[in-house]
Amino acid sequence: MDYCIREIEGKQAHDPLFNKASSSTTVWVEGPVIVGAGPSGLAAAACLRQKNIESVILERSNCIASLWQLKTYDRLRLHLPKQFCELPFMPFPSHFPTYPSKQQFVKYLETYAQTFKIKPTFNETVKHAEFDAKLALWRVKTADKGENTTEYLCRWLIPSKNKK
């Protein structure tokens, strides 16, 4: 009997599904936490950057503008003329057509992020956000793909992500 228990314990020690180690950390963010790295989140971060306010962007996907990159068909074009879809401080390139394609819009957003040095934290899903009135701070709880959790503490929260 004792042999069987030791054998089971030995197998469990090397089983990644059984021995799923996770960690939890807490991070203080001086500026706002922005939820979502789509056009709205990028625009918010760029506007803050122009005022020398650093922010943290949390994105559940592995890329910016994940809705545009992963959930739309390739022939999609903007439904509004480009001048109505520009983000702050950076117009569309003049050689883009009036109605840019999906690929052109994604390239514009990627260039925008590079221009303003916006570096989202990818694969970080916000599980819960709550204002702690006693501390006068937001508590933003996230999990990565490995279910490691992080709690971000900040004074301001900017939700810019579409709901699932």
List b or e across 40-66, with b for residues whose CB sees 16 or more CB atoms inside 10 angstroms: bbbbbbbebbeeeeebbbbbbbebbbb
Cα–Cα distance for residue pair 127/157, rounded to 1 Å: 14
Q: How many domains does the chain have?
A: 1
- How many CB atoms neighbour CB 11 within 10 A? 10
Residue 119 lies in a domain: yes
**Quick one: tokens of 63?**
């890329």
What pLDDT sits at residue 86?
98
- Which single residue is written with the structure tokens 């950390």? 25
CATH number for the domain that contains residue 153: 3.50.50.60
Phi, psi of 152 (to 5 degrees): -95, 130
Q: What is the pLDDT of residues 26-62, one digit of tens each?
A: 999 999 999 999 999 999 999 999 999 999 999 999 9
Q: How many residues does the chain have?
A: 164
Domain around 27 = 21-74+102-159
Q: What is the pLDDT of residues 71-123, one digit of tens each?
A: 999 999 999 999 999 999 999 999 999 999 999 999 999 999 999 999 999 99
Residue 126 lies in a domain: yes
What pLDDT sits at residue 42?
98
